[in-house]
Amino acid sequence: MIPRRGAALPDYPWDTLAEHSARAAAHPDGLVNLSIGTPVDPVPSVIQAALAAAADAPGYPATHGTPELRKAAVDALRRRHGVEGVEPDAVLPTIGSKELVAWLPTLLGVGPGDVVVLPELAYPTYDVGVRLAGAEPVRADGLLALGPARPVLVWLNSPGNPTGRVLPAEHLRKVLAWARERDAVVVSDECYLTLGWETEPVSILHPSVCGGVFDGLLAVHSLSKCSNLAGYRAGFVTGDPTLVAALLAVRRHAGMIVPRPVQAAMTAALSDDSHVAEQRARFAARRSVLRAALTRAGFRIDHSEAGLYLWATRDEDAWDTVGWLAERGILVAPGTFYGRTGGRHVRIALTAPDDRIAAALTRLSGI
Domains of the chain: residue spans and CATH? 4-42+275-365 (3.90.1150.10), 45-272 (3.40.640.10)
Peptide bond into 39 cis (omega under 30): no
Structure confidence at residue 366 (pLDDT)? 78
Q: What is the mean pLDDT of residues 218-228?
A: 97
**Over 70: is that where the pLDDT of 2 sits?**
no
**Over 80: is that where the pLDDT of 148 sits?**
no
Structure confidence at residue 177 (pLDDT)? 94
Contact 152, 131 (CB under 8 A): no
Listing from the earlier edge strand, what are the strands of the sheet with 185-189? 91-95, 234-239, 217-222, 185-189, 153-157, 115-118, 136-139
Structure confidence at residue 4 (pLDDT)? 55
Q: What is the mean pLDDT of residues 34-57?
A: 96
Q: What is the mean pLDDT of residues 8-31?
A: 89
Q: What is the mean pLDDT of residues 72-83?
A: 98
Spatial distance between the Cα atoms of 277 and 346, rounded to a whole number of angstroms: 28
**Over 60: is that where the pLDDT of 352 sits?**
yes
**Over 80: is that where the pLDDT of 45 sits?**
yes
- Using pLDDT thresholds of 50, 70 and 90, give the confidence band for residue 224: very high
**Over 80: is that where the pLDDT of 143 sits?**
no
DSSP assignment, residue 163?
T
Identify which of 97, 105, 163, 162 has the alpha carbon closest to the alpha carbon of residue 138. Answer: 105
Name every residue whose Cβ is closer than 8 Å to that of residue 24 and which is 6 or more positions away in sequence: 31, 32, 33, 325, 326, 327, 328, 329, 330, 331
Peptide bond into 159 cis (omega under 30): yes
Spatial distance between the Cα atoms of 283 and 298, rounded to a whole number of angstroms: 22
Q: What would the DSSP string read from start to end of 77-141? A: HHHHH------GGGEEEEETTHHHHHHHHHHTT--TT-EEEE-SS--HHHHHHHHHTT-EEEE-S
**Over 60: is that where the pLDDT of 24 sits?**
yes
**Over 60: is that where the pLDDT of 227 sits?**
yes
**Over 60: is that where the pLDDT of 7 sits?**
no
- Report the percentage of the chain scoring pLDDT > 90: 92
- Using pLDDT thresholds of 50, 70 and 90, give the confidence band for residue 330: very high
**Bridge partners of residue 347, in order along the sequence:** 311, 333
- Using pLDDT thresholds of 50, 70 and 90, give the confidence band for residue 147: confident
- Report the percentage of the chain scoring pLDDT > 70: 97
What is the pLDDT of the chain when averaged over all its residues? 94
DSSP assignment, residue 30?
-
Structure confidence at residue 6 (pLDDT)? 45
Spatial distance between the Cα atoms of 284 and 196, rounded to a whole number of angstroms: 10
Tens of pLDDT, residue by residue over 265-314, are 999 999 999 999 999 999 999 999 999 999 999 999 999 999 999 999 99
Identify which of 299, 307, 277 has the alpha carbon closest to the alpha carbon of residue 346. Answer: 299
Name the least confident of 39-43, 146-150, 164-168, 189-193: 146-150
**Over 50: is that where the pLDDT of 260 sits?**
yes
Angle at which helices 260-271 and 45-53 cross, to 10°: 150
Q: What is the mean pLDDT of residues 342-346?
A: 97
Q: What is the mean pLDDT of residues 62-86?
A: 97
Structure confidence at residue 145 (pLDDT)? 67
Structure confidence at residue 337 (pLDDT)? 94
Structure confidence at residue 171 (pLDDT)? 95
| Per-position b or e across 152-176, b if 16+ CB within 10 A of its CB | bbbbbbbbbbbbbbbbebeebeebb
What proportions of the chain, in percent to the nearest 5, are helix, strand and coil? 45, 15, 40
Spatial distance between the Cα atoms of 267 and 51, rounded to a whole number of angstroms: 10
- Using pLDDT thresholds of 50, 70 and 90, give the confidence band for residue 11: confident
Contact 184, 216 (CB under 8 A): yes
